[in-house]
Amino acid sequence: MAKSILSDLNCYELIQASYAAHALHFLTKVKIFEFLVTGPKTLDELNSLSNAQSDILDDLLSLAVELKFIHKNNEKYVIARKGLQLSKASKSWFRGYLFVWAEQIVPGVLKLEDHFLTGENAFKLAHQDTIWDYYSKNSEANEVFVEFMHGVTNQSLIPDIVDELVVGSARSLVDVAGGIGSLAGALASKYEELLCIICDQPANKSNADRHISALGLKNCQFMGVNIFDAIPAGHDLYTIKHVLHDWDDTNVIRILTSIAEAMRPDSRLVIIEGLIDREFPETFDNPEFIHTRNFEQRVWTPGKVRSTKHFQSLCAQAGLHIESVSPSRGFDMNYIECHRNSN
């Protein structure tokens, strides 16, 4: 990820950037990038394809031209490389992220004052349920989340993890709350002798099975479980990526305890997450984005981005200790290796 430039922007510029993101969300929602994928179009053609009853499209297209998501040639709009990333066909994670942000997270941001005054989760104040209950009742919102989560993991993070994660002599791995298998699938492809088990909510089984079979994997399988009480026991390596930041401390301790109980005394656990760490500056890779990420996490979930010290305390309460912390080249990631305490 490019170095953050947020601190170079003044307040006016930061607010204008947020309007630009809302305009891109709207153009994506009314399928402008889908229409342009099939070829250049005039304003009249785009107005008619999107059933517009107002002249706002003209203005938003001009903005998208300035932002270089669209070009304009001889009165026709032409999709640009950045615009292509917002079309469904590109399968880029930016499209899913734009929808998750605008339709699921921003309503939580608007409830920030109530959250501040009552302590109630901001996402719940906006959507009546916390994130995983909400997704279990709204399959469309869950599909958008899965498109984003699998996309960001697969496209931006997996190459670094596959390169950096020390698998060592492990013969079996459990990826706890591993979604549809982005990480487990990539590791199973690289290490053919490694049995990789994805455990996540049963609702993710069909997407996971499709992913595993598209990769043609024999050494990867999905198990529908509740990570609070049913993690497959006795394996060599456990991973948990971008999960603990979704939960409050009490639930993080419950999840870590459930993993610790599944581990053998010589099993390893690697937590893969961002860290807000003043004590370990080497893990504090992109201070601006890790703080905006933390804000995002706090309005989206009951969790947050934590420090190494915080993880040390939570691990200790789950019967684990941190053996090492190493930064990743990828964004919002470090490898926090934990072992079970000896009794």
- Nearest-approach distance from CB 104 to ligand SAM, in angstroms: 13
The Cβ of residue 68 has, within 10 Å, a number of other Cβ atoms equal to: 11
List binders of ligand SAM among 287-306 (CB under 6 A): none
Give the Å distances, CA to CA, from 164 to 111, 322, 326, 333, 334. Answer: 39, 18, 10, 11, 10
Residue 147 binds ligand SAM, judged by CB under 6 A: no
Question: For residue 250, what are the contacts with CB-CB under 8 A and spacing of at least 6?
Answer: none
In the complex, what is the shortest distance from the CB of residue 296 to ligand SAM, in angstroms, rounded to a whole number? 12
Instruction: Verify binding: residue 284, ligand SAM, rule CB under 6 A.
Output: no
The residue (of 179 and 319) whose beta carbon lies closer to ligand SAM is 179
CB of 38 to ligand SAM, least distance (A): 31
As measured in angstroms, the least distance from the Cβ of 160 to ligand SAM is 13
Instruction: Please report, as residue ranges, which positions from 187 to 206 form the binding site for ligand SAM (by CB under 6 A).
Output: 200-201, 204
- In terms of phi and psi (left: phi > 0; alpha: psi -120 to 50; beta: otherwise), the region of 41 is beta
Query: How wide is the angle at C-alpha 137 spanned by C-alphas 136 and 142, nearest 5°?
Result: 55
Instruction: Determine which residue in the list 105, 149, 212, 271 makes contact with ligand SAM, applying CB under 6 A.
Output: 149
Q: Is 136 in the site for ligand SAM (CB under 6 A)?
A: no
Quote the least distance from Cβ 271 to ligand SAM, whole Å: 11
Which tokens sit at 121? Answer: 């989760």
Q: What angle do CA 202, 151, 329 make, to 5 degrees?
A: 115
Q: Please list every residue from 95 through 134 that binds ligand SAM, using CB under 6 A.
A: 132
β-bridge mates for residue 42, sequence order: none
Query: Footprint of ligand SAM on this chain (CB under 6 A)?
Result: 132, 149, 153, 177-179, 182, 200-201, 204, 225-228, 241-243, 246
